A and B are shown apart, each in its own frame.
Chain A
Amino acid sequence: MANVIDDAAIEYLGVLAKLALSQEEKEAAKADMGRMLDYIDKLNELDTSGVQPMSHVFPVKNVFREDVVENGDGREALLANGPECTGEAFVVPKTIG
């Protein structure tokens, strides 16, 4: 299925992955992904009809609990990591016209 990786697919993946690739990186990604998918296609040798896909090995279920605040106010420490902030919020470029 490797031939599905064309220029349009790389553009689309750039949107999904939020990555702006240079022309050189795009070419490299195209070749790399083609090879990887060729290799992954090996899985098609396996007959998996009737097999249930397994997301977790152990039976996991939603874990419910009361919504109680356990941690203290960490605003200062959290904001300290922001590339740009006011004293009480992260700052991002204008998003609404």
Chain B
Amino acid sequence: MSILELTAVELGKRIKTGQVTVEEAVQASLDQIKKAEQKVNAFVTVDEEGALRRAEEVQKKINRGELRGPLAGVPAALKDNLCTKGLLTTCCSKILYNFVPSYTAEAVLHLERAGAVILGKTNMDEFAMGSTTETSAYGETRNPWNLDHVPGGSSGGSCAAVAVNECFYALGSDTGGSIRQPSSFCGVTGFKPTYGTVSRYGLIAYGSSLDQIGPVAKDVTDCAAILEAIASYDPKDSTSIRREDNRFTEALVDEVRGLRIGIPRDYFGEGLNPQVRDTILGAADVLRQKGAIVEEFDLSLVEYGVPAYYVIASAEASSNLSRFDGVKYGYRSPSYKDLYSMYKKSRSEGFGPEVKRRIMLGAFVLSSGYYDAYYVKAQKTKALIKRAFDQAFQSFDVILAPASPDTAPRLGQSLRDPIQMYLGDIYTISANLVGLPGLTVPCGTDSSGLPIGMQLIGDCFQEKKLIRAGFAFERSRCYQGPAMAKELEQSTPNPYVGEASSAQGSIWEKGGK
């Protein structure tokens, strides 16, 4: 088995025992990035120089016994909405094309303390608004399982990069399914923790009451180890929660006897691809055979999650994105008359169409005369959805569902009809509205070979139950990445020439100019 095929935790063990050096692991990742990027475009910035420098530093700390954790020396990537001090952070928007943060996101600091080596920043839908990674200002990411298909979104770059072995794990963010849905489309494992578990300090905000950072990796073990490293109470995030038990890796046990798993009938009806349905129900059978109690039930209110979400998320986005006005950072229009026209022109030229659409909708639902009819109505709907889940979790430990109604669509299909695209989030969105943890675990492929992931949803703070169920399930099958990952690894090196990139020394940036 080559280095690149290892999981993050397996690599961490080999680094600790000296079988692999940190530099070897980083170099292997960088070589794979050079080969894969022209096809996949999962990265918007690669910091080759910084990663190699950091590899040396981390290796020394490991040798001195200062770094002993499971992720020490393991190369990782970060979604480009996570601030990194001194490293370009664009949110894949033209309006932040040259933004270099003066501080690093809290979750990333935790990873660095655990010995992570950051390779670069991954592609995403602009400001995380989208479900395909096609709204990025720096070109779409392609699905490594089939380059004619999208990787999902908005954390599509993170998920594609993990799938094609450009990094051993990545961080993403999930506002309405943005970790769980692309993980399903790319055949990797993605985890959105309970709201408040990971500090949002340094995450460029989209919908603040919904946003949560989480890991993307090859298996549940990696996700548990990464979440354990990044979960923290942080006074700098006013909605951060002080949790008593963040020892998520303790739940990595192959034992589901007696675990009550609920299958919501309303998630398996009209609109669900039958191949996805059969694969998910097959996964439920595996858990049943291992001793879990699997029952169907009616969750109710499922069809109201998407409209409530788009009101709340757009409202919060319109407020959060008002800070981008061409004064303190980012793009400023070259021609304007006065201060107000500078704001308007900078924003209009800097934001893409999907972002403008959501800002306008948000401004409308918050405007005088419509606030009660839309925004307050959505908040009341959220309260009802919370009740429905509370009731479900009286009977069940875990809810098992699809992550998406279908496998990855072809490029260019989804953006034509926004409402249709929004409906693709129907199975993931409620977890954000009511703050629940959700874990996507790969469980099969459709007839054309595209991955299918199942989603495990738990009650607030019950990540350990999800980890246990996911871990027990994946024991029944072995991880298989896309054929392209191996093919690229075995191909001869190809000097990197990014279409929109400007090679500056050995930092490759697609924004920046």
Nearest first, the 4 closest Cβ-Cβ pairs linking A and B are A53-B379, A83-B332, A77-B102, A81-B329
Q: Is A69 engaged at the interface, CB distance under 8 Å to the other chain?
A: no
Mark contacts of A42-72 with chain B using CB atoms, 8 A cut-off: 1 yes-contact digit, 0 otherwise: 1111101001111111101001010000010
- CB under 8 Å from chain A, chain B span 204-248: 209, 235, 238-239, 241
Q: How far is the CB of A97 from chain B (nearest CB, A)?
A: 10
Q: Is B348 engaged at the interface, CB distance under 8 Å to the other chain?
A: yes
A43 and B344 within 8 A (CB): no
Chain B residues near A17 (CB, 8 Å)? 318, 347, 356, 359-360, 362-363
Q: Is A19 engaged at the interface, CB distance under 8 Å to the other chain?
A: yes
- CB under 8 Å from chain A, chain B span 268-299: none
Of the A-B pairs whose beta carbons lie under 8 Å apart in the complex, a sample of 25, sorted by A's number, is A5-B364, A9-B364, A14-B344, A16-B367, A17-B363, A18-B322, A18-B340, A18-B343, A19-B351, A19-B359, A20-B341, A35-B418, A35-B419, A37-B364, A40-B311, A46-B381, A48-B380, A57-B435, A58-B435, A60-B239, A63-B238, A81-B98, A81-B100, A83-B326, A93-B342
B328 and A90 within 8 A (CB): yes
Give the size range of B's interface with the partner. Answer: 35 or more
Chain B residues near A84 (CB, 8 Å)? 332
Contact of B329 among A45, A48, A82, A94 (CB under 8 A): A82
Q: Is B325 engaged at the interface, CB distance under 8 Å to the other chain?
A: yes
- Pick from B15-23, B258-266, B300-308 the stretch touching chain A: B300-308
A43 and B308 within 8 A (CB): yes
Q: A63-B238, A81-B330, A84-B332 are in contact. Are A1 and B380 (CB under 8 A)?
A: no
Q: Is B105 engaged at the interface, CB distance under 8 Å to the other chain?
A: no
Chain A residues near B379 (CB, 8 Å)? 53-55
Q: Which residue of chain B has the shortest Cβ distance to A32 in the bound complex? A: B357
- CB under 8 Å from chain A, chain B span 364-407: 364, 367, 370, 373-374, 376-384, 386
B307 and A40 within 8 A (CB): yes
Q: Is B338 engaged at the interface, CB distance under 8 Å to the other chain?
A: yes
Contact of B235 among A45, A55, A65, A83 (CB under 8 A): A65
Contact of A43 among B103, B338, B361, B378 (CB under 8 A): B378
- CB under 8 Å from chain B, chain A span 1-25: 1, 4-5, 9, 12-14, 16-21, 25
Instruction: Tell me which of B337, B339, B360 has the highest count of chain A C-beta atoms within 10 A of its own C-beta.
Output: B360
Q: Is B67 engaged at the interface, CB distance under 8 Å to the other chain?
A: no
Q: How far is the CB of A14 from chain B (nearest CB, A)?
A: 8
Q: Is A95 engaged at the interface, CB distance under 8 Å to the other chain?
A: yes
Q: Which residue of chain A has the shortest Cβ distance to B340 in the bound complex? A: A18
A19 and B348 within 8 A (CB): yes
B102 and A13 within 8 A (CB): no
B interface secondary structure, majority: helix
Q: Which residue of chain A has the shortest Cβ distance to B366 in the bound complex? A: A16
Docked pose: A21 CA to B360 CA in angstroms = 11
Contact of A13 among B195, B364, B378 (CB under 8 A): B364
- CB under 8 Å from chain A, chain B span 56-95: none
Q: A18-B325, A52-B380, A81-B99 are in contact. Are A39 and B307 (CB under 8 A)?
A: yes
B209 and A93 within 8 A (CB): no
B322 and A39 within 8 A (CB): no
Q: A20-B345, A57-B386 are in contact. Are A82 and B328 (CB under 8 A)?
A: yes
B381 and A52 within 8 A (CB): no
Q: How far is the CB of B426 from chain A (nearest CB, A)?
A: 13
Chain A residues near B337 (CB, 8 Å)? 93
Chain B residues near A94 (CB, 8 Å)? 338-339
* B residues adjacent to A (C-beta < 8 A): 98-100, 102-103, 195-196, 209, 235, 238-239, 241, 301, 303-304, 307-308, 310-311, 318, 322, 325-332, 336-345, 347-348, 351, 353, 356-357, 359-364, 367, 370, 373-374, 376-384, 386, 418-419, 434-435, 460
A56 and B384 within 8 A (CB): no
Q: Which residue of chain B has the shortest Cβ distance to A76 in the bound complex? A: B102
Chain A residues near B360 (CB, 8 Å)? 13-14, 17, 19, 29, 33
Beyond known contacts A17-B318, A17-B360, A19-B347: 9 more, CB 8 A cutoff: A20-B345, A33-B361, A43-B377, A46-B304, A48-B384, A51-B380, A63-B235, A74-B102, A82-B327
A44 and B383 within 8 A (CB): no
Chain A residues near B329 (CB, 8 Å)? 81-83
A54 and B239 within 8 A (CB): no
Contact of A58 among B98, B241, B382 (CB under 8 A): B241
Q: How far is the CB of B489 from chain A (nearest CB, A)?
A: 38
Chain A residues near B310 (CB, 8 Å)? 36, 40
Q: A33-B361, A35-B419, A57-B435 are in contact. Are A40 and B327 (CB under 8 A)?
A: no
Chain B residues near A83 (CB, 8 Å)? 326-327, 329-332
Contact of B380 among A25, A53, A90 (CB under 8 A): A53
Q: A35-B419, A58-B195 are in contact. Are A42 and B342 (CB under 8 A)?
A: no
Q: How far is the CB of B465 from chain A (nearest CB, A)?
A: 18
Q: A58-B241, A63-B235 are in contact. Are A20 and B344 (CB under 8 A)?
A: yes
